[in-house]
Amino acid sequence: MSIFGPVIDVRPLFPRERQALLGLLRDLAPADWSRATVCPGWDVHDVVSHVLNDYMRRLSGARDGHSGAVFADDETLPAYLARTNEEFVRAGRQLSARLQIELLEHLGPQLDAVWAAHDLEAPAGLNVSWAATDVVSPCWLDVGREYTEFWVHQQQVRDAVARPGATEPELMAPVLAVFAQALPFTLRAHDRPEGTAVVLEVRGPAGGRWSAAWRAGRWRMAEPHGRPAASVSMDQDTFWRLASRGIGVEEARARAEVSGDPELTAAMTTLLAVVA
């Protein structure tokens, strides 16, 4: 019995998300590239460098079988990612905005081809640690995680330059659905009687309703049915920002509507869908 929900295939969306990003970047004024983003210490140029790093890292690993990862002594994965991401961003400050755009445009279709060749129901090449640490993630969740990262970074750039967009349901709904896969891991510390269920409702055109249930000794994604032991409802903007830590837990709780088991609702409003 899988702990994950049904397959979410985001592969056709990568070119559309990228074209929205490239269209935005081409339209920026020179001063826009130095505007601060929600990422501490990073401006727009830095966030774009980070996305470029993600493209190259996944092409090197998934296409070329190149690891290249060198951990420092006793370095955790979050610490490793924070260090190497910062190293690349600092180096990327040597790149012009024009070159960044050209590289994204050139490398993007190559990465699309890598995703297209994946068997979505095979084991993931990179485990999704925010969804489970003791179960191998399915490939579709790994690919979906990459899509959410690109989409979130685009939104961070849009926020920085006050240009809303890329939130139409076709592009945004899969982000929310992938983030919802963090529910079982979010609830992992709270054992409950067999069949206990919770419901997360995300309001808005891209929103949805997801459930997790305690079955066979752990929380698993489940189809919503019956009366849940706990429910949390929030709008789509709040949910994606909470899951990516664009806003803090307390702010998200202030925006949410909760009912039922207070331990479970408190846990659900800490949902995190990034490595931290």
Contact call for residues 11 and 112 (beta carbons, < 8 A): yes
Listing DSSP states for 200-250 in one string gives EEEESTT-EEEEEEEETTEEEEE---S--SEEEEEEHHHHHHHHTTSS-HH
Q: Torsions phi, psi of 55, nearest 5?
A: -60, -50
pLDDT digits (tens, 9 = 90+) for 140-196: 999 999 999 999 999 999 999 999 999 999 999 999 999 999 999 999 999 999 999
Number of domains in the chain: 2
**Would you place residue 261 in the very low, low, confident or very high pLDDT band (cuts 50, 70, 90)?**
very high
Asked whether residue 16 falls in the same domain as residue 144, the answer is yes
What is the structure's pLDDT at 238? 98
| Structural domain span for residue 145 | 11-120+140-164
pLDDT in tens, 222-250: 998 889 999 999 999 999 999 999 999 99
pLDDT value at residue 1 = 67
Alpha-carbon distance 177 to 56, whole Å?
Answer: 26
Where residue 15 falls among pLDDT bands split at 50, 70, 90?
very high
pLDDT digits (tens, 9 = 90+) for 110-148: 999 999 999 999 999 889 999 999 999 999 999 999 999
DSSP designation for 138 = B
Of 105, 129, 164, the residue that ends a domain is: 164
Phi, psi values for residue 259, rounded to 5°: -155, 155
d(CA 138, CA 234): 27
User: pLDDT per residue over 20-65, tens digit each?
Assistant: 999 999 999 999 999 999 999 999 999 999 999 999 999 999 999 9
Q: Is residue 215 part of a domain?
A: yes
- What are 67-90's pLDDT values in tens digits? 877 787 788 888 888 899 999 999
The whole-number pLDDT of residue 67 equals 83
| pTM given for the model | 0.96
Looking at the structure, tell me whether residues 42 and 150 fall in a common domain: yes
Distance, in Å, from the CA atom of 146 to the CA atom of 136, rounded to the nearest integer, reads: 16
- Dig out the tokens for 272 from the structure: 């995190």
- % the chain with pLDDT above 90: 91
Q: Do 63 and 197 belong to one domain?
A: no
At 31, which CATH number? 1.20.120.450
Residues 145 and 198 in one domain: no
38 and 147: one domain? Answer: yes
CB 183 within 8 A of CB 268: yes
81 and 157 co-located in one domain: yes
Please name the residues in contact with 262: beta carbons below 8 A apart, sequence gap of 6 or more.
230
d(CA 117, CA 78) in angstroms, rounded, equals: 28
Judge if 55 and 153 occupy the same domain: yes
Query: Cα separation of 104 and 60, whole Å?
Result: 15
Tell me the pLDDT band of 101, cut-offs 50, 70 and 90: very high
Residues 19 and 154 in one domain: yes
Write the CB contacts of 166 (distance below 8 Å, at least 6 apart in sequence): 17, 20, 21, 24, 151, 154, 155, 158, 172
